[in-house]
C-alpha cells in the first residue's frame, strides 16, 4: 500500500470503501464488514485505517490461570501490539459477547496504544472514560460501560470476529462511525482507481440533484448516465 492510497483511505468514509471494493471486484456481494450498530468514541473524527493486530479478551468471570501468568500475558499483548507494519489498528474480540461487561478501552489503554504507535481500535467489547479517551485514537466498540470487571487477555494474534467481520492479524482494516471492514488484499492495487471512479460516477447524480430546476425528467437522464458508467 503506497502513501497515496493511504492518504485517500484516510479521507473517505467506510461506506465509500465498501462500495469501491465492489467496483474493484466488478460485482456486488462483498460482506466482510461489521453487521450491526457500533459506537464510536469520537464520531466526528475521520476514518482510521491500519493493519490489524489481533487479540481476544474476557472479563465476565475471573481468569483461571495464575496471577503472574495474567500479568505476563498482558505484557505479551502490549509487545505484540507494538510490532508489525504501520499504520496499525488493534482489533480485539471480547469472547463474552454479547454479554460483555469489561471495558478494555478507556483513558489508560487508549493512551498506551497510541503511544505504541497505533492508530485506533475496533472491538465488540466495552469502552469507557469517554471524556478522556486519548485524542487521535478513535475506538469503535460494541457498548459503553463503567467497569473493567475481570478483564484479561485470552489469546494474542489469533483470528478474531467482531460483529460478523472476520479479521486475521495483518489484514488491512478501515473503520469510521459507520462500522469497519477488511479490505481484500487482491483489490489493493486497484482500490485507488476504484474509489476515484466511484466518486466521479456519484457526481452524475449528485450534481444535477443539487441544481435548481431538478425534476424527474432530469433525474431519469442523470440516472441513465449513472447506470451506464457503472457497467
Q: Who contacts 152 (Cβ-Cβ below 8 Å, separation ≥6)?
A: 57, 58, 59, 63, 70, 73, 74
- The verdict on whether residue 73 carries a ligand-binding annotation is no
- For residue 53, what are the β-bridge partners? 90
Contact between residue 141 and residue 123 where contact means Cβ atoms under 8 Å apart: yes
Q: Is 40 annotated as a binding residue?
A: no
Cell of 171: 489484514
Q: How many whole angstroms from its chain centre is CA 128?
A: 18
Q: How far apart are CA 142 and CA 3, in angstroms?
A: 31
Binding residues, as ranges, are 128-129
Binding residues for Mg(2+), as ranges, are 129
Binding residues for substrate, as ranges, are 128
Amino acid at each position: 500500500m503506497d502513501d497515496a492510497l493511504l492518504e485517500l483511505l484516510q479521507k473517505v468514509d467506510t461506506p465509500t470503501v465498501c462500495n469501491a471494493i465492489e467496483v474493484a471486484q466488478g460485482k456486488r456481494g462483498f460482506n466482510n464488514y461489521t453487521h450491526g450498530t457500533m459506537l464510536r468514541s469520537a464520531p466526528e473524527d475521520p476514518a482510521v485505517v491500519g493493519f490489524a493486530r489481533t487479540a481476544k479478551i474476557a472479563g465476565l468471570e475471573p481468569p483461571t490461570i495464575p496471577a503472574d501468568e495474567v500479568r505476563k500475558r498482558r505484557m505479551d499483548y502490549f509487545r505484540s501490539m507494538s510490532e508489525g507494519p504501520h499504520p496499525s489498528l488493534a482489533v480485539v474480540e471480547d469472547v463474552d459477547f454479547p454479554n460483555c461487561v469489561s471495558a478494555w478501552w478507556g483513558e489508560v489503554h487508549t493512551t498506551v496504544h497510541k503511544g505504541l504507535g497505533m492508530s485506533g481500535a475496533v472491538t465488540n467489547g466495552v469502552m469507557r472514560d469517554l471524556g478522556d479517551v486519548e485524542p487521535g485514537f478513535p475506538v469503535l466498540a460494541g457498548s459503553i460501560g463503567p467497569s473493567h470487571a475481570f478483564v484479561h487477555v485470552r489469546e494474542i494474534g489469533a483470528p478474531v470476529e467482531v460483529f460478523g467481520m472476520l479479521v486475521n492479524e495483518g489484514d488491512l482494516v478501515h473503520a469510521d462511525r459507520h462500522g469497519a471492514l477488511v479490505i481484500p488484499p487482491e483489490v489493493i492495487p486497484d482500490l485507488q482507481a476504484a474509489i476515484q471512479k466511484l466518486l466521479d460516477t456519484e457526481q452524475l447524480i449528485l450534481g444535477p440533484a443539487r441544481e435548481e430546476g431538478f425534476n424527474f425528467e432530469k433525474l431519469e437522464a442523470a440516472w441513465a448516465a449513472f447506470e451506464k458508467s457503472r457497467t
